Amino acid sequence: MKIAVCRNREREESLAIQSALCEALAKEGVDFYLATDALLPQTDILCVLGGDGTLFAYAHLALAMDIPIWFINAGSVGFLAESSEDLPARAAQIAARRYTIAERDLLEVKAGDARYTALNDACLMRDTSRLQTVTLTATTCDETVARYRGDGALVCTPMGSTGYAFSAGAPIVAPDGQGMLFVPIAAHSLSARPVLFGPSAVLTLSCQEGAELFVDGVNRSHIGDVVEVRLSQRKVRFVLTEKPSFFAKISTKLL
């Protein structure tokens, strides 16, 4: 087994966790290396040390090689991450292949000729250089879902429902749920509300004044006025060495 280890280089605490993890993996005889921009051939697992932002920065490496991600919390919230405690025991589980794999949905985002993959969300926002609302329309199957003035709209996976969507007033969806969630952002309307769509839905977001696209928090710059979002046929896979504690994290991190 070969594991690539990457971390959030802007957080000092991630360095200490990386050192402890590497020591634990070495004691178990696990082949590992420190990765930055690329992965070596025959890599079996990508281990990400950081918060959700670090995961978004490195996940494309795992997706490109179709390998699972072992995500260890070294950030602040870390809804998707495992604890950094008891790393020797976790390393022993990895070495013995005593772990489970959880699959999570991804979004496929189309903006003009550009294509993006999102773990959490895609967000169509007003021009952030001006404090002015825009007119947004969401449609599916030629049917209008919502039309309103506001700051923007986002579409998220169940995994992304605890991110920006949560701050925008959306409900929490269990990470193993199916479908995608449409969420108006700062809508100047009483009728614009979050809507959960099924796995086969295709949602089109349009902005009358033009807008900016953010994919997992990364600004993809001004892209015009139409974005199409659907669930990807691909899945992101996570290595789990502990029993998932999603609702325990909700109670400790959001209350």
What's the pLDDT at 211? 86
Rounded Cα gap, residues 175 and 156, in angstroms: 11
Whether the predicted pLDDT of 222 surpasses 90: no
Give all domains of the chain, ordered by start, each with its CATH number. 2-98 (3.40.50.10330), 106-233 (2.60.200.30)
pLDDT digits (tens, 9 = 90+) for 201-216: 999 999 988 789 999 9
| pLDDT value at 77 more than 80 | no
Q: Determine whether 151 is an active site residue.
A: no
Helices (H), the chain: 12-27, 52-65, 87-95, 164-167, 246-253
Catalytic residue among 31, 37, 44, 52: 52
On the question of pLDDT at 59 being above 80, the answer is yes
What was the pLDDT predicted at 94?
A: 97
Average pLDDT over residues 104-119: 94
What would the pLDDT profile of 164-203 be if each residue is shown by its tens digit? 999 999 999 998 899 999 999 999 999 999 999 999 999 9
Taken in order 168, 171, 172, 178, the sign of the CA dihedral is: negative
Q: Considering only residues 78 and 187, tell me which one the structure prediction assigns the higher pLDDT.
A: 187
pLDDT at 47 over 80: yes
pLDDT (tens digit per residue) in 1-10: 999 999 988 8
- Among 74, 57, 72, smallest CA distance to 15 is for 74
Contact 64, 29 (CB under 8 A): no
- 66 within 8 A of 24, measured Cβ to Cβ: no
